[in-house]
A = this chain, B = another copy of it.
Amino acid sequence: MNVTVKQLKAFVAVAKTRSFAEAAELVYLSQPALSISIKNLEETVGGALLVRSTRSLALTPEGEAFYPVAERLLADWDDAMLELHNLFSLQRGKLTVAAMPSFAGHQLPRVLGSYRELYPAINVTVHDVVAETVVDMVRSGRVEIGIAFYTENAADDLHFETLFEDRFVVALPKGHQLLEKEAITWNQMKDFPCIALQRPSSIRELIERTLEEKKFQLSIEFESHQLVTIIRMVVCGLGVSIVPSLCIPQIEQLGGEWRPLKAPAITRKVGIFTRKRYPLSTAAGAMVDVLKNSTQQLLP
């Protein structure tokens, strides 16, 4: 026979109140039920913890020694249960997210705002890293959720859920002559110096693949590994560039202009990476929901 939590709670209640009758109320039991519960406990542990005559109730030395131990056991027990319950009810917990810079820069803060409003006690850690690293971090388990462009090399062990399609745009400095067009074709760009992301980069790859397939030509005169730097270069008049539409807020903020890219337009799926076969925490699940809701509203 094994000692149960109930029995220990019963014992502590009796030891605390020095009365079976009072203790019975504390543990929501009838007095006889409590009596038997204590009796069973004493049988299990092999000796008396309480000495009761109808008129007085005392703890045996063993009971006296065990009383504080039992209290600590129960306190630890309840603490652990409460902690776990909080974790599930999102009243506590932590969550790690990785997002590529273009997303981390503008959409993510708003998403985090909504999330914090819903679950103010969840501790969220954000890693602002390039898309490739996002995938690596999800794969290795360093983050639960990754937000980045879709990439095929994640297909085997990662799960991807699309949030939206990002249509690439052409970033231009103020007063640029291409601004006259509603949308800009690849051919129209070939006469202007271009600025591109350094290799290796998924965006650069996508652009080069299109160039090759369609036999287009672009004169790439500057390179950088940071999109924000490229945008700054564009704004300074060093050239034009093809960037994800996610960067539009940043372009406008830095004083640049943009036009849609067409013939062909290129798009890239932006979405959520998670590990296959590894379940999400409740906190992460909630974040996925918030992400889906937020982006649905942002890009109709």
Task: Tell me how far the C-beta of A107 lies from the nearest C-beta in chain B, rounded to whole angstroms.
Answer: 25
Give complex CA distance A149, B169 in Å: 105
Contact B61 A281 (CB under 8 A): yes
- Kindly state whether residue A29 has any CB partner on chain B within 8 Å: no
Contact A279 B60 (CB under 8 A): yes
Give complex CA distance A51, B76 in Å: 26
Contact A51 B279 (CB under 8 A): yes
Which size class do A's interface residues fall under? 35 or more
Contact A81 B3 (CB under 8 A): yes
**Which stretch of A15-23, A63-71, A114-122, A199-207 is in the interface?**
A63-71
In the complex, chain A residues 232-267 whose Cβ is within 8 Å of any chain B Cβ: none
Pick the contact of A87 from B47, B58, B87 — CB < 8 Å?
Answer: B47
Give complex CA distance A80, B11 in Å: 14
Contact B77 A47 (CB under 8 A): no
- Kindly state whether residue A56 has any CB partner on chain B within 8 Å: yes
Residue numbers in B under 8 Å from A174 (CB-CB): none
Give complex CA distance A46, B89 in Å: 7
Contact A4 B5 (CB under 8 A): yes
- Kindly state whether residue A282 has any CB partner on chain B within 8 Å: yes
- Kindly state whether residue A88 has any CB partner on chain B within 8 Å: yes
Residue numbers in B under 8 Å from A60 (CB-CB): 279-281
- Kindly state whether residue A142 has any CB partner on chain B within 8 Å: no
User: What are 21 A-B contacts with C-beta separation under 8 Å?
Assistant: A2-B5, A4-B5, A45-B81, A45-B84, A46-B84, A46-B89, A47-B88, A47-B282, A48-B279, A58-B277, A58-B278, A58-B279, A60-B281, A61-B144, A61-B280, A62-B84, A62-B87, A62-B281, A62-B282, A66-B80, A69-B80
4 shortest A-B CB distances, which residue pairs? A47-B88, A61-B281, A46-B88, A51-B279
Chain A residues at the B interface, C-beta cutoff of 8 Å: 2-6, 45-48, 51, 56, 58, 60-62, 65-66, 69-70, 73, 76-77, 80-81, 83-85, 87-89, 144, 277-282, 284
Extra 15 A-B pairs, beta carbons < 8 Å, given A61-B284, A66-B84: A2-B6, A3-B81, A4-B4, A4-B5, A45-B81, A46-B84, A46-B85, A48-B279, A56-B277, A62-B281, A66-B87, A69-B80, A69-B83, A73-B76, A76-B76
